[in-house]
């Protein structure tokens, strides 16, 4: 019993030494990797390249490019109203006629006055010629010649006055026929046949041009500045062909015609801090009506093709956004990315990915640079662009 007690510590030391030196029996040795956690399981998707648009929507108002209030320039009774309310009228079409009788009499009177003045000038001219001959013969004084010259000059001035009066009378007579200066749709007549109208009567009717037509919306002064800075044609210039401008009508349908930027206001509205932008649209079917409100959608004409990364794959720290990309040895590496337009289930990537990379989309919270993982394939990332910022 005493001998066994003495040998126990020595036996325990031998066993420990054999274990450390790898010479212990197979039953006593530990299995390789025992006690170590397996690599984490992750889901991987390959990044696809998609055409990514970043449309912006604005509330806009329709306005006529040209609109004219038809007014009377002379006073008189309306003889005729020569249009139907709501009809299309062409430039130069007769709209109203004022009774011309009095103005025809004024023209005739002015013509008579002109004839009289011309006759007086002719008589003064003949007198001047005879007086010159008498002065040359020294039969009359020089003062008589001076008087004849003055009388001729006055007669010539009287002719010019009579000519001006005739032109004024003819102009007033022409104003009895009221025509439209533009092509467009005319509204109702505010005066009917037989009414007395004149310059103080206000608008007799209104003509509005409908094709083409203008749409107006406002953008922030900062956005206008950014667009001008980015324009390759030069500072301050915005290429109207770089944008695709479409409309959504009040009933929710899309307008088939595309617009083009006409001009941008040169001043900022101090009350709103916005700049008005005016766009022209073809309007052959007259679906767009002045003072109507529509939704304007602005897209790039050349839609870029960019890698699209699922939103679940994107992490962010104080240095920005990043993703984990799977390497050939099933280890992950961190890739910094710059995102652009928002898509339905992710982001377009402008820098950091080129497309085709296997990106970790599930299990990313447990990852770190260089970690080994157990990957499995997921569904390719897809989505349609929607509004959003990076």
74 in any annotated domain = yes
Q: Are 312 and 328 in contact (CB under 8 A)?
A: no
Least confident of 4-13, 59-68, 116-125, 249-258: 4-13
pLDDT at residue 253 tops 80: yes
Quote the pLDDT of residue 266: 84
Residue 291, pLDDT above cutoff 90:
yes
Pairing of strands 41-46, 374-377: parallel
- Note whether 95 and 180 are same-domain residues: yes
Nearest Cα residue to 166 out of 210, 217, 105 = 105
Least confident piece of the model among 118-132, 231-245, 315-329, 340-354: 231-245
Q: What's the token pair of residue 193?
A: 């046949």
230 and 333 within one domain? no
**How many helical (H) and strand (E) elements, i.e. helices and strands, does the chain have?**
4, 23
pTM beyond cutoff 0.85: no
Question: Torsion-angle region of residue 33: left (phi > 0), alpha (psi -120 to 50) or beta?
Answer: left
11 in a domain, yes or no? Answer: no
User: How does pLDDT run across 35-92, given as a tens digit for each residue?
Assistant: 567 888 999 999 888 877 777 889 999 999 999 999 999 999 999 999 999 999 999 9
The reply to whether 75 and 46 lie within a common domain is no
Last residue of a domain, one of 156, 191, 208: 208
CATH code of 320's domain: 2.40.420.20
Give the three-class secondary structure for 161.
Answer: helix
Direct distance between the N- and C-terminal alpha carbons of the chain, in angstroms, rounded to an integer: 83
Residues 78 and 202 in one domain: yes
Task: State the pLDDT confidence band at 29, using cuts at 50, 70 and 90.
Answer: very low
Domain identity same for 166 and 220: no
Q: Residue range 260-278: average pLDDT? A: 88
The pLDDT mean for the chain works out to 84
Q: Is residue 136 domain-shared with residue 91, that is, in the same domain?
A: no
Does 232 share its domain with 308? no
pLDDT(345) > 60: yes
Structurally, the chain folds into a number of domains equal to 4
Same domain, yes or no, for 92 and 121? no
Residue 351 has pLDDT above 60, yes or no: yes
CB atoms near residue 377 (< 10 Å): 10
Tens of pLDDT, residues 166-195: 999 999 999 999 999 999 999 999 999 999
* 8/323: higher pLDDT: 323
The listed range with the strongest mean pLDDT (21-25, 249-253, 340-344, 383-387) is 249-253
Q: Do 71 and 203 have their domain in common?
A: yes
How many CB atoms within 10 Å of residue 347?
27
Residue pair 342/308 in contact (Cβ under 8 Å)? The answer is no
DSSP string, 69-100: EE--SS-EEEEEE-S-TT-EE-TT-EEEEE--
**What is the distance between the alpha carbons of residues 319 and 332, in angstroms, rounded to a whole number?**
19
Domain CATH code at residue 150: 1.10.287.470
Residues 6+ apart with CB under 8 A from 86: 185, 186, 187, 188
- Pick the last residue of a domain from 250, 285, 300: 300
- Asked whether residue 88 falls in the same domain as residue 122, the answer is no
Residue 223 has pLDDT above 70, yes or no: yes
If one counts every other C-beta atom within 10 angstroms of the C-beta of residue 340, the result is 21
- Give the confidence band of 34 by pLDDT, cuts at 50, 70, 90: low
pLDDT at residue 91, rounded to an integer: 95
Residue 45 burial by CB count (10 A; 0-12/13-18/19+): exposed, middle or buried?
A: buried
Residue 386, SS3 per DSSP: coil
Clarify whether residues 132 and 169 are in a common domain. Answer: yes
Its domain, for residue 141, covers 101-174
SS3 state of residue 283:
coil
- Residue 379 is predicted with a pLDDT of 52
Q: Which pLDDT value is given to residue 19?
A: 41
* Range in 32-46, 80-94, 97-111, 264-278 with the lowest mean pLDDT: 32-46
In terms of domains, do 229 and 296 share one? yes
Confidence of residue 221 (pLDDT cuts 50, 70, 90): confident
Please list, in sequence order, all residues whose beta carbon lies within 8 angstroms of the beta carbon of residue 102, skipping any fewer than 6 positions away.
76
DSSP state of 203: -
Tell me the β-bridge partners of 245.
Answer: 259, 298
Residue 199 lies inside a defined structural domain of this protein: yes
- Tokens describing residue 151: 């009388």
């Amino acid at each position: 019993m005493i001998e066994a007690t003495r040998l126990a510590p020595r036996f325990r030391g031998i066993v420990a030494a054999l274990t450390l030196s790898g010479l212990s029996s197979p039953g006593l040795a530990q299995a390789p990797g025992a006690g170590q956690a397996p690599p984490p399981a992750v889901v991987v998707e390959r990044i696809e390249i998609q055409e990514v648009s970043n449309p912006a929507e604005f509330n806009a108002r329709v306005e006529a490019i040209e609109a004219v209030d038809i007014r009377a320039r002379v006073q008189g009774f309306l003889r005729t109203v020569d249009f139907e309310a709501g009809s299309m009228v062409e430039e130069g079409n007769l709209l109203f006629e004022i009774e011309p009788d009095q103005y025809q009499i004024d023209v005739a009177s002015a013509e008579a006055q002109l004839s009289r003045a011309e006759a007086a000038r002719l008589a003064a001219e003949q007198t001047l010629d005879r007086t010159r001959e008498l002065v040359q013969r020294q039969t009359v004084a020089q003062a008589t010649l001076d008087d004849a010259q003055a009388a001729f000059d006055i007669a010539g001035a009287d002719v010019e006055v009579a000519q001006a009066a005739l032109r004024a009378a003819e102009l007033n007579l022409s104003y009895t026929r009221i025509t439209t200066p533009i092509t467009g749709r005319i509204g109702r007549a505010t005066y009917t046949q037989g009414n007395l109208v004149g310059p103080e009567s206000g608008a007799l009717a209104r003509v509005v041009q409908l094709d083409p037509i203008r749409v107006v919306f406002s953008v922030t002064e900062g956005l206008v500045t950014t667009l001008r800075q980015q324009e390759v044609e030069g500072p301050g210039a915005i290429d109207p062909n770089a944008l695709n401008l479409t409309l959504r009508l009040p009933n929710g349908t899309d307008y088939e015609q595309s617009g083009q930027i006409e001009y941008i206001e040169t001043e900022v509205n101090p009350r709103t801090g916005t700049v008005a932008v005016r766009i022209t649209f073809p309007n052959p079917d007259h679906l767009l009506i002045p003072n109507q409100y529509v939704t304007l959608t602005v897209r790039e004409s050349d839609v870029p093709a960019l890698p699209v990364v699922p939103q679940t794959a994107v992490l962010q720290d104080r240095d920005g956004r990043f993703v984990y990309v799977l390497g050939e040895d099933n280890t992950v590496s961190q890739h910094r990315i710059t995102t652009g337009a928002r898509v339905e289930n992710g982001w377009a990537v402008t820098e950091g990915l080129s497309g085709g990379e296997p990106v970790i989309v599930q299990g990313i919270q447990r990852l770190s640079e260089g970690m080994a993982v157990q990957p499995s394939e997921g569904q390719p990332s897809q989505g349609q662009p929607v509004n959003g910022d990076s």
